[in-house]
Chains A and B, each alone.
Chain A
Amino acid sequence: MNLKTTRRRVLELAAAIPAMSFLRRIDARAAGENSSAKRFMLIYHAMGTSGAHWYGNASEQNFQLGYTLNPLEPHKNDLVVCKNVNNEPGCEYWRNAPSYCPRGGKVDQHSVATCTVLAPARPRNPDSAYSHPGIETIDWHIGRKLKASSGVPFDNLYLTPARRHGSGLDAVDVFSSRRNAGGQLEDPHAEDNPVEVYKKYLLGKTGQALENLPGNKVEADRLQRRNLSRKLVTDFVAKEVMGFQKALPSEFKAEVEPHMAELRELEKTLTNVEVGEDKPPMERTLCSSLEQPADGLRSISGGNYRARAEVMADLATSAFACDVTRALTYSFWTFNGGCSPPNMAGTKTYGNLHEGLQHGRHGYTRQDVADCHQHVAHQVARMIAKLKAIPEGDGNMLDNTLILWTSDMGMDPFDSGDGHNKRNLPFILAGKAGGALKTGRFIDFKNMSHGRLYAAVTHLMGMPQDAWGESKYNQGGPASQLLQRT
């Protein structure tokens, strides 16, 4: 019996497995709770973005997606696009500390932004490049709570396709600012190596996690039976195609040959369980049959950024599908040639993108920025599509998930004058949060502090708080627009 299949294949086929009842069990367990998300994913990219390309002509009366967000068009009804949400502590801190110039002073603008973007409070120590407000970041907080309530093995995974450890460029990555309640960096589950993600979080732990979850044996058997059904149907179809091919005149037979060849390949990926008492061993379940990512993806090299980004996206959705964690942070390295629309490879590197978007130099156009971030949108769309393809309860996994996508800077940061605008951050929510969030909307928050948005997020996640961060950045309470269900 060969249950080994590719990771991608498993996720693709997940759409064909309506009876993933271990997921339904999760849903059933939550049925007694108020409507709220069971999973949380924070998506982050650096540098802000181009407002015209992001929003297009969108308004509250005319919900549209701009060029950058084109890949999300099929999922428009699963989104809430937010406008005019500001990182006020980031702005305020910078205004009050003008001497801290990025090149001549002590604090980097991006450090200010990343330290405050997930924790709306003033940093404790303005003299430190990585000073942190000292409150728990929103992703960490939610992950910890979700682990406690669900019993999953991990509270939060931090995934990124590329990270430059110790290079100083961590300043633009939220990794450095993800803190626990004591303001300390406490993040053992961070990975930029897809192979390690697979090994640490999916390969060994998954089987154990599945076994430890009550009712999982029933589900594993069910999956085995469904795989067997699929195998039997595929065998049947192969014979039908063979018969069809045989009946064709000789000059047409070759036209059907690729179909036969692909059926044979498909059969290899399905179980070949024999009918009878000999049930497959427990570890051969959907999650543990994921295939290890290629060795060539272990580190950034040879222009493999996109492939790594894609694999990381798939691993992220696998981590949810396999229920090893209920919270994830996916940070995109959206500069360097790695972002790689063709015109950005080589000559336009990180320095140029930063200098261009933040300082308007080196001939960077907003179209370059939009192309770069459209790549992120592609990956987000990929994850959304996969989560939607996994049935859960009466809907799908995305219905029970809340995705929050943001950045350290706002729209068109160079236009703000100081080159590091922290207003009008690109906030997008996706997923119905277990029915708590009404999606398919564009909301203009008219210069609301992002603390209020996060406070609303805690409500959507079923762990309500009146504020998130310092009270001065939460005046008005949780963003009520996000809590309206009709």
Chain B
Amino acid sequence: MKYFRLRLVPSALILPALLGGAACSGSVTEGDPKNREKPPALSPEGEPSQEQLARCRQMGEDDAQSFAGPPVLKRLARDQYVNAMQDIAKKADLALVTHPDPAADGNATLPAGLRVTRQVMVDTEANAWTAAGVVLERLKSAIGCAPAEGGTCLDAALDRLALWFHRRPLSDDMRTRYRTLFDTVKEAAPEDAALAVVAAFSQSPQFLYVWDAAEGENVAEGVRALDARQWADALALFLWRSVPDETLLMRAQEGTLDEPDARREEVARLLDDPRAQRSTDHFVGQWLMLGGLTGKRKEEPEWTAALGAEFRTDTDKVFASLMTGPDARFADLFTHHTAWVTKDNAKLLGRDEATAGTGAFVELGAVQRMGLLTHNSYLAAHSKLKGSSPILRGATFNKQVLCMEVPAPPDDLDIPPEPEHSAGTSAREQLAEHMQNPICAGCHMYIDPPGLALEHWDGLGRYRESEDGASIDPSGEVLLGADQEPQSFSTPAELFALVGEAPVAKHCFVSRWAAQSWGKLPTRGSEHCAVENIDGAAAGGEHNLRQTLESLALHPSFTFRTEVQSQ
């Protein structure tokens, strides 16, 4: 018998069927959109009803303004900041000191998690001076003169730095202030004057923050669109996790980004650029909760941080190719057999280390790899110190793939310590009491089956026919939606096929991508509605993954903002 105390944070949906279970149940959460009263008409505020959500799914261009949300103040997340500094310096190995942003939800970056802390302040100031020299060299080469000379060269430098860091032209006032800074520093430390200007740009709020109150055309009463420059900025932060390149900025500045086709072109260009993998890496890390993989403690002889990094690279590469390639669909996320094989992970994947090079896509056997949930990264990240963990894997699956929250056991539940694994006893046998004890079964009937379906993969994600001498039975039932009946599966492949076609999983996936594109979790009525609409559009495109990203970048929710009243 094995017990494990789950500790999960609130997710977007809590399925009533799950919460209707025994002792670990609670009342139906008010946040469940399927249990809402129906307001008379859709409002950007409040939470939509089932009926409204159904309407949201069908909305077209005429209703575009309904998706407008209020503007949001964001600060560049840690990865966006690093990417932006390296892109501006044109130096991929620019050494910067950064620390993790305060934890948000684990699913998306929340503005509340991006407030400036002491550590952020110290890092940003130190990095500003570390990077200044490198950026200054690039600047000199870009403008063909040395800004330290002052005069027109300084003006050219300020214009270029504003384009790079602020992603907008410099106002006259701001130009004056930067010139004053240059002159003041020059008086005190002539050798620092140009460096100081660069250092100031990289610490400026116009670089570090995004305040996305729309400055474009008025599309409806109280609703404005982002102008081309703002859209370009948002697009790069979404698809590259960085600032726009000069091509994108110049197109915005020249007014050639106003037409939908031009925007589609840019979305396609950004998705075809290697920098797009930063966005897919960020997403898959948060979605499948892989962030702590390399630092994970494991009592497996083969385990090293480097191996964890290889696992992560495998997943990042495969996921990026699926998301940005032309043909992959949502179901492929759970059915592909592809791996990124290097000499460092070849052995664990059953490949020849000697012939493996620095990395190549390889089709593994259909039994060994069946989609992302059978990647070593997911399996190793959600396993115990030693061996697998059906509970961790199953709980993560419910929370992250289905957006289903599994509540923690009640505080007053006396949970015995986890017993030692005994040879010849399968995980299913050890977890049997979960199903026999109604106190446990209320939750574990949903947690354990998808976790047990992954028992053919050990704690490092290696495929195995048996578990320490015990045969493995991966069959079970899975609940794929609050309004659905549990569905049976007898093999992992059957489970993954069900998941790949499950509307709840597709909706969850779209919802999480929407959160990344907006830089915030969907919490408002208009945002829930937008997710529904985008999910509907994705369904129309048979859930083509690249098209889903394109839909997000071109969707009104990405572009429209309600106007701010108070000042």
Contact = CB atoms under 8 A, between A and B. Distances in A.
Contacts of B419: none
A345 interface: no
B267 interface: no
Contacts of B199: 230, 233
Contact of B295 (A13, A70, A237, A262): A70
Contacts of A248: 73, 211
Interface stretch (A33-41, A56-64, A211-219): A56-64
B482 interface: no
A232 interface: yes
A12 B196 CA distance: 18
Nearest to B199: A233
Interface in A241-273: 241, 244-245, 248-252, 255-256, 258-259, 262-263, 265-266, 273
A229 B188 contact: yes
A161 interface: no
Given A70-B295, A237-B200, A249-B564, A263 B121 contact: yes
Contacts of B129: 15-18, 230
Given A65-B305, A244-B209, A252-B73, A16 B126 contact: yes
B304 A65 contact: yes
B97 A266 contact: no
B31 interface: no
B304 A236 contact: no
A199 B114 CA distance: 39
A382 interface: no
B118 A237 contact: no
Given A67-B304, A232-B184, A258-B117, A16 B200 contact: no
Interface in A286-337: none
Contacts of B116: 256, 258-259, 262
A123 to B, nearest CB: 36
B428 to A, nearest CB: 27
B464 interface: no
A67 B297 contact: yes
Which of the four size classes fits the interface of chain A? 35 or more
Nearest to A265: B118
Nearest to A64: B306
A16 B304 contact: no
A237 B307 contact: no
Contact of B115 (A70, A229, A258): A258
Residue in A13, A64, A233 with the greatest tally of chain B CB atoms within 10 Å: A233
B188 A233 contact: no
A229 B126 CA distance: 13
Nearest to A73: B305
B177 A236 contact: yes
A342 to B, nearest CB: 12
Given A232-B184, A262-B121, A16 B303 contact: no
A52 B307 contact: no
A400 B38 CA distance: 71
B566 interface: yes
A275 B187 contact: yes
A64 B206 contact: no
A9 interface: yes
Contacts of B120: 262
A236 B181 contact: yes
A52 B116 CA distance: 41
A228 B188 contact: yes
A469 interface: no
A250 B118 CA distance: 24
A250 B195 contact: no
A233 B128 contact: yes
Contacts of A265: 118, 121
A180 interface: no
B304 A250 contact: no
B567 interface: yes
A240 interface: yes
B299 A367 contact: yes
A57 B188 contact: no
Contacts of A251: 566
B306 A255 contact: no
A13 to B, nearest CB: 6
Nearest to B96: A15
B321 interface: no
B294 interface: yes
A230 B199 CA distance: 9
B188 A225 contact: yes
Given A67-B298, A263-B121, A232 B196 contact: yes
11 contacts: A17-B129, A18-B129, A56-B302, A56-B306, A225-B192, A230-B199, A232-B196, A233-B203, A256-B73, A259-B115, A275-B187
Interface of A: 9, 12-13, 15-19, 52, 56-58, 62, 64-67, 70, 73, 225-226, 228-230, 232-234, 236-237, 239-241, 244-245, 248-252, 255-256, 258-259, 262-263, 265-266, 273, 275, 365, 367, 371, 388-389
Given A15-B129, A16-B125, 19 more contacts: A19-B191, A52-B301, A64-B306, A73-B306, A225-B188, A225-B189, A233-B185, A236-B200, A240-B200, A252-B73, A255-B111, A256-B209, A258-B115, A262-B116, A266-B121, A275-B187, A367-B297, A367-B299, A389-B97
The list of the 5 closest CB pairs from A to B, nearest first, reads: A56-B304, A16-B129, A225-B189, A262-B121, A244-B205
Interface of B: 73, 95, 97, 111, 115-118, 120-122, 125-130, 133, 177, 181, 184-185, 187-189, 191-192, 195-196, 199-200, 203-206, 209, 211, 213, 294-295, 297-299, 301-307, 309, 343-344, 385, 564, 566-567
